[in-house]
Amino acid sequence: MKPYTLIVAATKTYGIGINGGLPWRLPKDMAFFKHVTTLIPKTSPQHLQNVVIMGRVTWESIPAKFRPLEGRFNIVISRNLDYDLQGAPNTILVDSLEKAVALVDPERHGRVFVIGGAHMYQLAMAETHCSHILLTSIDSDVECDTFFPAINDTDFRVATHQELEAYVEQVVPQGVQLHKDIGYEFLLYIRQ
């Protein structure tokens, strides 16, 4: 099975969502998400397209005009295989994470990202195929009702900033950044 990366923005207490949406609006984090999930590494054939795997609730949280996420193969997970994707192109529905990952075709697909939500992160982090976690660590006590699983530091180590920049193939601001009154920091964890 191909390794995959979790990409998430979470508070220090691992809050990630509220009322089916995001608790914050961080334009630079959204731009980072788009860059990273779209990027085909220089060493890979450039005709490949990355895969984004998400739970049905996260799919519905994306405004209709922005889904499917463009330039990426979208896989939505639901127990209901009759769920209506409303004809979304370049998007497929499956009923398990295993089936989603099994759809990855090395001839067509580059990196694989699990993009949420809490249910998908929980399932995905438990598997050794989860090789990287890109965490935007958010310094805010905003209310959340949905949480990322705690990152176990015997399974994952924090990468250096150089490793993060090498992974995403771009300069990344180092340390805590500020957007209005919210501090945030881009971090990479690597399975050890």
Q: Are 113 and 51 in contact (CB under 8 A)?
A: yes
> Which of these, 51, 65, 32, 53, lies nearest to 167 by C-alpha position?
32
Contact with ligand NAP (CB under 6 A) among 116, 132, 151, 188: 116
Contact with ligand NAP (CB under 6 A) among 37, 111, 117, 132: 117
> Is the link from the previous residue into 27 a cis peptide, with omega within 30 of 0?
no
- Does residue 69 interact with ligand NAP by CB under 6 A? no
Contact with ligand NAP (CB under 6 A) among 51, 114, 120, 151: 120
Cα distance between residue 177 and residue 164, in whole Å:
16
> Is the link from the previous residue into 17 a cis peptide, with omega within 30 of 0?
no
Residue with tokens 């390794």: 3
- Pick 48 or 85: Cβ nearer ligand NAP: 85
Tokens standing for residue 98 = 């295993």
Number of C-beta neighbours around residue 56 at 10 A: 18
Contact with ligand NAP (CB under 6 A) among 38, 49, 78, 140: 78
- Does residue 9 interact with ligand NAP by CB under 6 A? yes
Contact with ligand NAP (CB under 6 A) among 5, 36, 56, 110: 56
- Does residue 140 interact with ligand NAP by CB under 6 A? no
- Does residue 20 interact with ligand NAP by CB under 6 A? yes
Residues that bind ligand NAP (CB under 6 A): 8-10, 16-17, 20-22, 54-58, 61, 77-80, 83, 95-96, 115-120, 123, 146
